[in-house]
Amino acid sequence: MASSIRVRATANGDITEVQALIQHPMDTGFVKDAKGELIPAHYIQQLKFECNGKDVFVADWGTAVSKDPYVKFSFKGAKKGDDLKVSWTDNKGASDTTTAKIS
């Protein structure tokens, strides 16, 4: 199964710019399905980006984040060729992780 995480990280001098697109339903728990029953809340609780043993971006999310979230941020202290590890866990106990090289 393909990873739910697409990530691209580009180093420009000392600053690394990261973009990620994560495939996740991010159900709020308020929406009803075709039968009229509530679709239970299903959302990413924590999203973490790690580089060189340090957390460079940690997000604690709830139901206010939309489906298939897109994240963009920059951080200092990494260089081309370093590994960037991305992982998430959701409220159902599921998780996914992927590692990308900073280009």
Partner 1 sequence: MKARTSILLGSLSAALVALALTSPRVVAADKVDPVADAKAFQNFFFQKFPTVKHEDFVNGPYSMNEDMKRQWQEKEEFPPYEFALDAGKEMFATPFKNGKTYAHCFPNGGIGIRQNYPYFDEKEGKVVTLELALNRCREANGEAPYSYVKDEMASLTAYMAFTSRGKPMDIKIPDDPRALAAFENGKRYFYTRRGQLNFSCASCHVQSPGERIRAEILAPALGILNAMPIYRSEWSGMGTTSRRFITCNSQTRAVPLEPQADEYRDVEYFLSYVANGLPISGPGARP
Residues whose CB falls within 8 Å of the CB of residue 71, separated by 6 or more in sequence, listed in order: 18, 19, 20, 21, 22, 47, 57, 59
Which CB, 24 or 51, lies closer to partner 1? 24
Residue 86 contacts partner 1 per CB under 8 A: no
Q: Is 52 in the site for partner 1 (CB under 8 A)?
A: no
CA distance 4 to 103: 21
Is residue 101 near partner 1 by the rule CB under 8 A?
Answer: no
Per the CB < 8 A criterion, the answer to whether 98 and 7 are in contact is yes
20 contacts partner 1 (rule: CB under 8 A): yes
How many residues sit close enough to partner 1 to count as binding (CB under 8 A)? 12
Q: Which residues bind partner 1 (CB under 8 A)?
A: 2, 6, 8, 19-21, 23, 66-68, 70, 72
